[in-house]
Amino acid sequence: MSRISADEAGGPNVVAFLDAIACSELGPAMLRLSDDGYNVLVGSTPTKPLLFSSYATHPNVFNSAFRSTAAGRYQELFRNWVAYQPLLQLPDFGPLSQDRLALQQLKEARAIVPIQQGRVTQAVMLCAHLWASLPGADYGQHEQELAQIVDWFRAAGGTLA
């Protein structure tokens, strides 16, 4: 579960959407096998978890198989961390900082209002370019079905329009 409060995030639907993104990016099994995904490196699987141990900063571990430095609950790239850390004055790459970074990305994608209103399909379309696992991302990686995203959103307490 996301560590950011519903009040800070913009409501329970926003927190539920963050949880759905985490499920989409990492899968429920990896969330259970880690610190709720906050310490997961790209390429992790339940049979071969790749975890980092310090939240001091983004781990910046390059996985050549995925050609990526993605890390954390929302699989943030190191380059995103470099840009957002000073902008948002994030003290570390800990859970709350990761939530705040993902929340900022949702704001920039103009997805917050649709999420708050329970219009998940529209929200996914607005931010699919940010997360490779979302339907319509078109990164050439596995994309989740929209119905699965909606199920995870509802399971996390989200309410549909």
Count other C-beta atoms under 10 Å from residue 18's C-beta.
Answer: 26
What's the pLDDT at 54? 98
25 catalytically annotated: yes
Q: What angle do CA 1, 125, 96 make, to 5 degrees?
A: 25
HSE (CB half, 13 Å, CA atoms) of 140? 2
Ranges of residues in the chain whose predicted pLDDT is under 50: none
What's the pLDDT at 32? 96
Q: Where are the domains of the chain?
A: 6-155
Residues 8, 25, 143, 145: which is the catalytic one? 25
Q: What is the mean pLDDT of the chain?
A: 96
Distance, in Å, from the CA atom of 122 to the CA atom of 1, rounded to the nearest integer, reads: 23
What's the pLDDT at 141? 79
CATH number of 6-155: 1.10.530.10
What's the pLDDT at 137? 84
